[in-house]
Amino acid sequence: MTMNTASIGVQDLLCEYEHNPLGLDVGEPRLSWKLVSDQRGIVQSAYHIRVMDEQGDMLWDTGKVPSDQSVHVSYRGPTLRSGQRCIWQVRVWDGNDHPSIWSEPSWWEMGLLHPSDWQAHWIEPAWDDDPEAFNPCPYLRTTFALSKQVISARLYVTAHGLYELSLNGQRVGDAYFTPGYTSYHHRLQYQTYDVSDLLRAGENAIGVVLGDGWYRGSIGAFSLRNYYGQRLGLLLQLHVRYADDSEQVLLSDEQWRATTGPILKSDLKEGEIYDARLEMPGWDQPEFDASRWQSVRIANYSLENLVATNGPIVRPRERFVPVAILTTPAGETVVDMGQNFSGIVQLKLSGPAGTTIRLQHGEALDKDGNFTMEHLGLGSFLPPPAQEVRYTLKGEGEEVYTPSFTTHGYRYVKVEGFPGTPMRDNFTGIALYSDLSEIGTFTCSDPLLNQLQHNILWSQKSNFLEIPTDCPTRERAGWTGDAQLFARTGSFLMQTGGFFTKWLKDLAAEQKPSGRVPNMVPSPERGMQINNNPVDFLEGAAGWGDAAVIVPWTLYQVFGDQRMLHEHYESMQAWVEYERLNAQDKHKPAGYTAPRYLEREPLAHERYLWDTNYHWGEWLEPDDPVPALLFSGLTPETQQLLSAPHVATAYFAYSTHLLSETARVLGKEQDAREYAALYQHIKDAYIREFVGQDGRITPEKQASYVRTLTFDLLPEEFRRRAAQRLVELVQQSGTHLGTGFLSTPFLLHVLSGNGYLDVAYALLKQETSPSWLYAVKKGATTIWESWNGIDEKGNPHNSLNHYSYGAVGSWLYQVVAGLELGAPGYKHILFQPQPGGGLSAASATYQSLYGEIATRWQIEDHTFQLTVTVPVNTTATVGIPVTLGRQVTERGQGLATVEGVTQVRQEQDATLIEVGSGTYTFTANHPAADVIAHRSLTT
């Protein structure tokens, strides 16, 4: 094979998961690049990075570094300064030591790194709002003159509440809900904007509208208000650089003026009220007369909690034209967007001044076809959010209104007070969610499964809005359990690196010194009580708090993000120690504190059984009586029901195992050994307590078998029997799943991994409830919270947009399409499709940090064909599911001579082929009896 310099190219340079990030506060930003080649079997043998400052002076020149690392290479040059821009390029050498040409230059720019960089003051409108009521949004403005030619300008800004900002009447950026949602007490993001092009010589104006947002609006499961503070405020700093290299800085200060305007109420959950008659044309232009506006006051808040924005922010994404405008049996006008999602309605209309239109946003129609929002609450426990918008016309021709500070989970919009006959083009649905790129696709020959995949993606979009939420309607809370169980599926579909990096920082910030993790992050909670005793009801539940360990581990797996493990090691360890402490004898010696290090014999009182505290248990198994009891009120009896020692002990074991693995990856050998030993103790205790002599697991439920098998908490000799028993339980329920939130992600994996691929497919394809396809058959466009989201009669129940059960997605990609991790970050890939369920084809694509991975198989005329794409600088093992003796070829050629194939192994039920980068099409030319058999079993 001949190579020349053109055999390998470098493109798609990323810094901290982003293209050219502006305003970083990461001291050693990590650099990644993708390699391309038109040849097979190409690797990187060395790289050379050079980083320059804006003047072209070299900051860091690695020289030629022999290494195959092409993702997450940490910058190791001189310490970076606030506002510093770094321009970087990379070139690489292939396996034959031939160099590529230099990549196109990319850049990153640092934000304000120190509290002392902020000369601005927090400003707040001078008037007092009524904390009990919804208050009009403050409008703030200032003007300033620019005397010289501007070279560049950076705006650094954040708010208490949300801000929408304009410069000389032009909106700055297209983001929604800035500064985003974080654990504000600990971390408040600011954004950095390049506003060089928006400034002009002479007078300029900045205008800012503030909304309640998460800061003082309704948030979390209990719709608490004023949680972070009662006063909205702004912190802003504009750095203008002139051609003569001088700088002018404009600040939020007492010069600013404030007033209220057309937004009379803004609340993320409750909605927005806008009176267009109160608009102030030109209010954000320099020439506007603000002499009647009020003053602002300087507020003193610590600047220590300010952090840069390193993850994706919310942006307007898909736009929906209504599929229908209905008149319901109740005579109401209802707009149907055809898709359930999180976002807003943009109104375009005209009518007499003073006419008020009311929009209510709901997810479903009831059995009679009438608009309803009843199911969006939980009885008297949690009322449904209002999700209501009111717009009053100013009566001046066509008016366009786009809400600023609210978002709704909805598909249907009930319209009242519309002037004239509403038409489809009066309403545009705009989806709002964190701007993560979509990196994974899955399709197969079954349209119902394709719809399921669509629904999973849309529940992710609807719920990845600043934080991973349970639903975009009722609670909108960062439930840790939901996030951890969906992280793997969600990270296939979207690039979650930045999103989870941000959220995990909040998780760690809110973790208690004991290691206890709130069940929601951020956790706007006020203590709950049973019989006047405070209860730790919303913290530290097994399967929820374990997000502290599972999410970093998942991100390490899928993105090879080792820094994530490094940065969260303490938090992960603290959580496991918390579990350990609670799994000790209930009568702990006074003053006992969790041991930091485990270099000692287990303490006498250590039992390794976690049977204390509250837990949500498996949560929402079909027919689970606990949620209903719970929502009718918290009593000591429900408390009893919420102790789930089998779940808690199993998660204690699982997290301990992952922590031990993490320690191994980080080179903490001692910890790795000790946590491995701890895991063994927990496993023994679990077996003693929950596994009978006959291999039966207590409680005898599908979830127990799934969890026990997944977390490997059985003596080896019981595994086969346990899997059999699981299958019996599935069959006893008429081939229906019986799992809840925690085990559903693992159910099909456990079945296919233990020889029951056919049962897994049968469950996947089941169409009666409880099942995934029941919802699909009922017309779902998202994943439901409960299996009976819309019952047989057609009535909706609970949230219809909860991604948790969508965690079955991982099985679609990993098993059906067969795109599986072979090494962290997909440095090595396992293609191991397992056809079945009557499918004749399936495919998946995935934009890994190394480049696109693709797989597509099809069965036609008794021929199995698999096409895979392996990115440059990675390798793969391809498993062709055929029995011994079947001949496999690559584009008609015997495997022994195929370029890029490095090894072929024949196993009982598969041919395993080791390959380097490139695209390959393998064909098993003879009838593959086993593949065909799988198909016929389930057709």
Q: Given the rule CB under 6 A, which residues bind ligand BGC?
A: 470-471, 475, 479, 481-482, 616, 619, 802
* Helical (H) or strand (E) element with 731: helix 719-732
**729 phi and psi angles, rounded to 5 deg:** -65, -40
Whether the Cβ atoms of residue 104 and residue 90 lie closer than 8 Å to each other? no
The structure tokens listed for 880 are: 């062709």
Q: Closest separation between CB of residue 478 and ligand BGC, Å? A: 10
Instruction: Residue 243: count other Cβ atoms within 10 Å of its Cβ.
Output: 10
* Comparison of 472 and 900: residue with beta carbon closer to ligand BGC: 472
Q: Closest separation between CB of residue 799 and ligand BGC, Å? A: 6
* Comparison of 464 and 826: residue with beta carbon closer to ligand BGC: 464
Q: Closest separation between CB of residue 547 and ligand BGC, Å? A: 11
* Comparison of 92 and 471: residue with beta carbon closer to ligand BGC: 471
Cα dihedral 243/249/250/253 (nearest 10): -170
**Whose CA is closest to 407, among 503, 315, 521?**
315
**728 phi and psi angles, rounded to 5 deg:** -60, -45
* Comparison of 547 and 866: residue with beta carbon closer to ligand BGC: 547
Check 16, 525, 785, 820 and give the catalytic one: 785
Indicate the residue type of 383.
Answer: P
Whether the Cβ atoms of residue 492 and residue 855 lie closer than 8 Å to each other? no
* Comparison of 523 and 834: residue with beta carbon closer to ligand BGC: 523
Check 124, 270, 475, 674 and give the catalytic one: 475
Q: Closest separation between CB of residue 617 and ligand BGC, Å? A: 9
* Comparison of 210 and 550: residue with beta carbon closer to ligand BGC: 550
The structure tokens listed for 294 are: 């009020």
Q: Closest separation between CB of residue 482 and ligand BGC, Å? A: 5
* Comparison of 468 and 879: residue with beta carbon closer to ligand BGC: 468
Whether the Cβ atoms of residue 419 and residue 355 lie closer than 8 Å to each other? yes
In terms of DSSP bridges, do strands 901-906 and 138-146 run parallel, antiparallel, or are they unpaired? unpaired
Indicate the residue type of 34.
Answer: K
- How would you classify residue 395: left for phi > 0, otherwise alpha for psi between -120 and 50, otherwise beta? left
Q: Closest separation between CB of residue 470 and ligand BGC, Å? A: 3
As a whole number of angstroms, the distance between CA 740 and CA 626 comes to 12
Task: Find all residues with CB under 8 Å of 541, minimum gap 6, and list them.
Answer: 481, 519, 613, 614, 615, 616
**Whose CA is closest to 168, among 158, 179, 155, 182?**
155
As a whole number of angstroms, the distance between CA 559 and CA 696 comes to 38
3-class state of residue 511 by DSSP: coil
* Comparison of 618 and 661: residue with beta carbon closer to ligand BGC: 618
* Comparison of 412 and 479: residue with beta carbon closer to ligand BGC: 479
Q: Closest separation between CB of residue 878 and ligand BGC, Å? A: 38
Which residue in the block uniquely carries the two structure tokens 């919270």?
785
Indicate the residue type of 836.
Answer: G
Q: Closest separation between CB of residue 484 and ligand BGC, Å? A: 10
Q: Closest separation between CB of residue 798 and ligand BGC, Å? A: 8
Maximum Cα–Cα distance for the chain, whole Å?
88
As a whole number of angstroms, the distance between CA 852 and CA 110 comes to 30
Whether the Cβ atoms of residue 556 and residue 515 lie closer than 8 Å to each other? no
914 as an active site residue: the answer is no
The structure tokens listed for 438 are: 């979509």
Instruction: Residue 397: count other Cβ atoms within 10 Å of its Cβ.
Output: 6
> How many Å from the N-terminal Cα to the C-terminal Cα in the chain?
47
Residue in the shown chain whose Cβ atom is closest to ligand BGC: 470
Q: Closest separation between CB of residue 456 and ligand BGC, Å? A: 16
As a whole number of angstroms, the distance between CA 43 and CA 871 comes to 9
Whether the Cβ atoms of residue 335 and residue 382 lie closer than 8 Å to each other? no
As a whole number of angstroms, the distance between CA 802 and CA 783 comes to 6
> How much helix, strand and coil, in percent to the nearest 5, is found in the chain?
25, 30, 45
* Comparison of 619 and 690: residue with beta carbon closer to ligand BGC: 619
785 as an active site residue: the answer is yes
Active site residues: 475, 785
